[in-house]
Chain A
Amino acid sequence: MSKPNPPERQPRRVINESGIEIQPLYTAADVAASGGEDMIGRPGEYPFTRGIHPLMYRKQPWTMRQYTGFGNAADTNRRFHYLIANGQTGLNVAFDLPTQCGLDSDDPQAEGEVGRVGMAVDTLRDFEIAFEGIDLDRITVSLTINGAAAILIAMYLAMAEKRGYDLSKLRGTAQNDILKEFVGRGTWVYPVAPSIRLVGDTIEYCAQHAPKYSPVSVCGYHIRESGADPAQEMAFAFCIARAYADEVIGRGLAVDEFAGRLSFNFNIAGNLFEQVAKFRAGRSLWAKIMKEQYGATQPGSMWIRMIAGGGGSGLTFEQPELNIVRGAYYALISALSGAQTMALCCYDEAYTIPSEYAQRISLRTMQLLIEEMGLTDTVDPLGGSYYVETLTNQMRARMEEIMREVDAGGGIVRLIADGTIQDRVSAQAYQRQRDIEAGTFRKVGVNCYRIDERPPEMEFHPYREQDAAAQVRALGEVRASRDALQVERTLARVRAEARSGSNLMPAILEAVKAYASVGEITAELVGVFGRYQEPVALRDRPLAAAGG
């Protein structure tokens, strides 16, 4: 009797988060089958898969830009100087929630929140203090602000102008991506349509008056944090970027007049190769969209200039010191992906606002890659890998498929306005949590390699009620010392321009320069635009079936 052959051992199936099956081995045949090498090109040349510049980090390493801000402007200014003294090359400003939601520090809704998760800003005075002693030509500033972005961009421009900087040369970035705020992060103020109008106003104004300033950083980052997979992160962000582009093109701007100043913010968490392929694929897909769909002719209009940093959702509450290691891998991924700017969530960030110590570790992590690991020596070092090139082609195809699905469902603005995207990503976030609890999606320290933990030694960031009271007093002093008639006149102009439909930035700038507050200007706009009403149904349905 012959024994049956033992069953051949099949390798376990591996499917990445974006739904692409990973093979145990890749060869040139896989690259060819996935679409070939047509989209690889050379760095600095269309379609920019390998990078937007010919020499990338060999010419200039990525900008290091840790997210920072707490308390009042003076507290934050001190931390800025600490980070710059430690070699940081850019700033990324965190604002407190009242500022982000367009409320003054003395608003009843601001109780307990002033200066808590970021720097409190009421008037231009706070901006003057926050950036004291910082050379705005040498250190570029990124403002993480969305619902109140038009006002804070105006404050930044007014502050820089007052200090003698030439606005036609001023660099810097505002996040100002309101559509993603409706999906995740939630610092919206106005309904969807006037919110998009305001983004359009900032793009249009900057194109004409501050052409080196980046008024928008389109964020896949927070959509990913809310539950999107990596391919969706990029595809949804591109749909949103197109919505802003369509808004200003509809006003008569040519694509090459503004597209070069659109920037992007993406998330790094999870599988290394999937992320690298995501960025390489996304770079070429956006270039293709801008060239073929929008008729861009300037290379800068086709570039993804991006901050790509370690995502908070990848870090764990358990064994928090492992987050230092995760952060190092995320920084490596960012460098292998050709990001222009890097930021890392800190190891203590699941617990508290990062300490100086934790911020310095994140900064040193990036500096290690530059000084010791050779990550700036050569461009796109993973280019040509059978695996990475195949996955890049596959990720690009997946992103295109998701964008077609969004368009078939009525477009991104409609799918966000009615809550469909929110429902989709929160359903995925729920599934992911179930997978983690079932142990089928592995997180070290969470569902494997657990230890009996005592609460870690952690330096908790203090919150002092008296600092909030001081901020309210300072606002009162500004109100008492400013020209009340001038404030009233400029606020009336904001209201009138909001009604008229003309670009609001000149009126907002004028109000800001008169030391009108964030809350006062926002109240005028809410009076005309109303407030956003959040859809909260938590439905389960596909994108293409939306609106039914």
Chain B
Amino acid sequence: MNGTRAIKVVVAKPGLDGHDHGAKVVARALRDAGFDVVYTGLRQTPEQIAGIAREQDAQVIALSSMAGTHLSVCGRLKPLLEAAGLGDRLWIIGGNLPAQDHDALRALGFRGVFPSSSRLEDIIDFIRTNAP
């Protein structure tokens, strides 16, 4: 934890998928846990997500992906986040993420991978432990 300032988390919905039940539930849980949460809303391009994360100086970038585009989205987002100087921040992703893709997501720099059925407390603990 860094002093008195709350950890800032950008919760983002990349791509065209409109299933935001999970993203909103996680955003509310993170807010209740004392984090400073910015929820982007739907249909964010990787460029928009990197832009919001830089503008907000987010310590945590949290993606929600339900429609199977996670590998392509994360692959496009990684260089954009790095170019925005956010390579040292905590990147995490949750949603419909088949087990066989978890290693690839971690290799892309998404250190926290939270597939369907993950517990809110586990996400909160992971951020507390790993946020820069």
Contacts and interface: CB of A to CB of B under 8 A. Distances in A.
Interface of A: 97-98, 100-101, 103, 109-113, 116-117, 181, 184-188, 225-227, 313, 316-318, 350-352, 426-427, 429-430, 433-434, 437, 446, 455, 460, 463, 534, 536, 538
A446 B116 CA distance: 11
Contact of B31 (A318, A351, A538): A538
Contact of A318 (B17, B18, B37, B117): B117
Contacts of A434: 29, 120
A538 B117 contact: no
Interface of B: 15-21, 24-25, 27-29, 31, 37, 39-43, 45, 67-69, 72-73, 96, 98-99, 115-117, 119-121
A319 B115 CA distance: 15
Contacts of A98: 16
A536 to B, nearest CB: 4
Nearest to B67: A117
A117 B25 contact: no
Contacts of B39: 536, 538
Given A227-B21, A463-B68, A97 B41 contact: no
B28 A427 contact: yes
> Secondary structure at chain A's binding surface: helix, strand, loop or mixed?
loop
B68 A426 contact: no
A410 B19 CA distance: 27
Contacts of B116: 317, 350
A429 B21 contact: yes
Given A426-B24, A433-B120, A437-B120, A113 B15 contact: yes
A112 B21 contact: no
A426 B19 contact: no
Contacts of B28: 426-427, 430, 538
Contacts of A112: 15, 69, 72-73
Given A112-B72, A429-B25, A185 B67 contact: no
Contacts of B69: 112-113, 116
Contacts of B37: 538
A186 B42 contact: yes
A536 B40 contact: yes
A437 B20 contact: no
A185 B13 CA distance: 13
Given A117-B68, A185-B19, A538 B24 contact: yes
